A and B are shown apart, each in its own frame.
Chain A
Amino acid sequence: MSETTLFGLGASALVGLGLYGFVIHPEPLRKLLAFNLLVSGVFLLFGVIARRGAAVGMGGDPIPQALVITGIVVAFAGSALAVGLLLRLGQKTGRATLRDVPSPPGDGTTS
């Protein structure tokens, strides 16, 4: 089994793990952790594809590698926004989950 196949299988397993963790955990912070595992798996898949495209003296196809760099930054931005929302929600409700958040006051809301 070549190294690309090895890491490719690892990346697939990582995707499955991340997906499982995302669906199972009730707490948003754990879901976020699982999401980061999931996208790491996706990026590793890109990396395996890049490695398979090694040619003309380069260790790997540069296009997918550049896509992964962009993707890592974008995923971080998403995590930062999610953490901001989560912390604010924790401050307001004192709970770390999304269930049983108090519904709006009975007379509806303005706007």
Chain B
Amino acid sequence: MPEPVAVSTPGGALLVWALMFPAAGALFALALGGRHAERVVLALMPVGLGLAVAIAARVLRADAALVYVVGGWAPPLGIALRADGLSAAMMITTAVVICATGLFARAEFQTPQGLPEARAPLAFWALLLGLWGALNAVLVGDDLFNLFVALELLTFAAVPLVCLDGRADTLAAALRYLLFALLGSALYLLGAALLFGAYGTLDIVLLSDRVRAEPAAWTAGTLITVGLLAKSALFPLHLWLPPAHAGAPAPASAVLSALVVKGAFILIVRLWFDVMPGLLTNAAAQVLAALGAAAIVFGSVLALRQARLKMLVAYSTVAQIGYLFLMFPLAAGSAGPASLGAWTGGLLQAISHACAKAAMFMAAGLIAQALGHDRIAGLGGIARALPVTVFAFGLGGLSLMGLPPSGGFVAKWLLLSAAIDTGQWWWALVIVAGGLLTGAYLFRVLTPALTGGEAFLPPPAPVARSREAVVLALALISMLLGLLPLASFGLVQVGRADMGVTP
């Protein structure tokens, strides 16, 4: 059977624009400098959102992936870009979260009057655009080396955001993050080298055609997976995440937890479902999910023990990432309709967690700004001072917990059904236990916040209404995702021709 040759589909050029607008924007932001950097970002936000929606619409209408062959050179010689349903859905999520972050961060990263340029604002806006470009590149890349460069772009954009405030502990957290990320990249590249040596290409579509079940493929797959696990902070390689995400400024934490860690996870999914379909043995899938389960338990228990709100939310990220890895044993293999449900559930978890976690970090940021600290012990009665913020925080948390009609609920429901349908009831137990633990640490924050009595001395600083509105909007999105009819989740299923077919 002849090999598939990549051909640009109509609308494929949109993928190029999705990469170029943030890249060009970052260059403009640096060159123009000063307060123009912020204006460039604000001007590009509707562009990015529009592009993501346009790509999703095209993918849905064509019920097939969009492909673009860069430079007219088809793989294996050249590079192709490819956006299937997973890419399109995550691109929309990325655009929404980054737009919300940009709007939220305006108050915090404004160039002060009288100065032509300031350090933190310029760095934040330029790095935010770089981050957006990197995420899009990770989502539409179809070549393993191109994805390596995109991952490096993602890391170099994310790390300086962690230590933007210049404190010693955030510098240490950023350095630890960078070291973990560099190690992950090296292992990823090693695996890619083996794949090239064995099959003569790094294009994902061509590789899926050429890969066989042999030692080279397994070694490469293991190396790439371990490298990406370090970047997605799965237990036990999660140590870098809590100090990094908690130490960053609130808008940066939002983007880091919501989107950056998902980038590496999406690539692991691409590896085992697109590059090497059928090579994921059941044992390996169970190991991945076991690590995920450990992440859920450890992350939630450690979240319960935190003294600071932002650290609690960061450990919650460690826990919620564990749910994503339950997808592997449930969606891999020819499990029929159950695998399609698990696939949808896993991605819905990623999407709804992104919106909910971003909202929670932003809310924590507003609370810290109002009170001057984020100690959980000192949060009593904050709901009277910041009702909208605490409500948004609660909504986000309830979505993480899995309360209907949130996206989190639908995701966990789909994963639960898949677990029971495939007879892997132990994962169902893990999902239920995770929900209970999430509720525990959520209520540890909400109970004093809602019911505490003392007055605050000094009185809490005022918080801009527009910022609260952004946070609330994000939380509502994650809460109401479950109200979308199940058919609209068909977007994430485009490109999954091998699933949902009973053998």
Q: Which residue numbers of A lie inside 8 Å of B, CB to CB?
A: 15, 18, 22, 28, 31-32, 35, 38-39, 42, 45-46, 48-49, 52-53, 63-64, 67, 70-71, 74, 77-78, 81-82, 85-86, 88-89, 92-93, 98, 101-104, 107-111
Contacts of A64 in B (CB 8 A): 193, 196
Name which residue of chain B comes closest to A39, CB basis.
Answer: B186
Looking at B148, B155, B159, B171, which has the most chain A CB atoms within 10 Å of its CB?
Answer: B171
Q: Taking A49-B193, A49-B197, A74-B152 as contacts, is the C-beta distance between A102 and B168 under 8 angstroms?
A: yes
Q: Are B168 and A46 in contact (CB under 8 A)?
A: no
Contacts of A102 in B (CB 8 A): 168-169
Known: A78-B152, A86-B175, A89-B171. 17 other contacts (CB 8 A): A15-B190, A35-B183, A42-B186, A42-B190, A42-B193, A46-B193, A46-B196, A49-B196, A53-B200, A74-B152, A77-B156, A78-B182, A81-B178, A82-B179, A89-B168, A103-B169, A110-B369
Q: Are A45 and B108 in contact (CB under 8 A)?
A: no
**10 interchain pairs (CB within 8 A)?**
A35-B179, A42-B190, A63-B196, A71-B189, A78-B178, A82-B175, A85-B174, A108-B373, A110-B369, A111-B368
Contacts of B24 in A (CB 8 A): none
B window 352-407: CB within 8 A of A: 365, 368-369, 372-375
Q: Which residue numbers of B lie inside 8 Å of A, CB to CB?
A: 77, 108, 145, 148-149, 152, 155-156, 159-160, 163, 165-169, 171-172, 174-176, 178-179, 182-183, 185-186, 189-190, 193-194, 196-197, 200, 247, 249-250, 308-309, 365, 368-369, 372-375
Q: Are B179 and A67 in contact (CB under 8 A)?
A: no
In the complex, what distance in Å separates the CA atom of A31 from the CA atom of B439? 40
Instruction: Say whether chain A's binding surface is mostly helix, strand, loop, or mixed.
Output: helix
Q: Are B369 and A85 in contact (CB under 8 A)?
A: no
Contacts of A70 in B (CB 8 A): 145, 149
In the complex, what distance in Å separates the CA atom of A45 from the CA atom of B152? 20
Contacts of A93 in B (CB 8 A): 168, 172
Contact of A98 (CB < 8 Å), options: B167, B176, B183, B250: B176
Q: Are A110 and B368 in contact (CB under 8 A)?
A: yes
Q: Taking A74-B149, A85-B174 as contacts, is the C-beta distance between A111 and B108 under 8 angstroms?
A: yes
